Amino acid sequence: MTRPAPSKIARVLLADDDPGVLLGMSVSLSRAGFEVTAVEDGAAAIALAGSSRFELVVVDLHMKTSGLAVIGHYKQRYGTGVYCAVLSGEDNEDTRATCLSAGADDVFVKPVPGPALRRRLAEAALALRAGAEAEARDQAGDQAGLQAGVRIERSA
């Protein structure tokens, strides 16, 4: 008897202009159960936003098309429905503050320890899934209330 293939933890988009970093992270995340799409440029990452849906986006800060441009695009399109992380060789508060104010959810300093990255991405995927499930329950409750003639107001 064959067992069904295990479902992937989440869909991850990796963008880094260093082929070695891209390959190493792709292999590590794939082996951990993530479905990985890897690109070597921010422009390619932005182009994928229209045709593919990723829960997790991990980008290098310094590419021809900046990682911050990629994050800005994905956050504008998907809001809190996407987790975005920046990879940077710079370990300082200014870089971290710039990335976070641009919409990044996390900043990782290169070289990123594989176990720490995998753990944080798995946590982010679980949090996104829990948020989506809660929103679906709220919408179902709102719909049931409307059918019963009850209007539900939610605070922001």
- Quote the pLDDT of residue 9: 87
- Quote the pLDDT of residue 93: 97
pTM for the full model?
A: 0.81
Is residue 5 assigned to a domain? no
| Low-confidence residues in the chain, pLDDT < 70 | 1-7, 131-156
- Quote the pLDDT of residue 78: 93
CATH number, domain containing residue 108: 3.40.50.2300
d(CA 36, CA 97): 27
Name residue 107's beta-bridge partners.
86
Is residue 104 assigned to a domain? yes
Please tell me the total count of domains within the chain.
1
- Quote the pLDDT of residue 129: 86
Neighbours of 112 (CB within 10 A): 19
- Quote the pLDDT of residue 140: 52
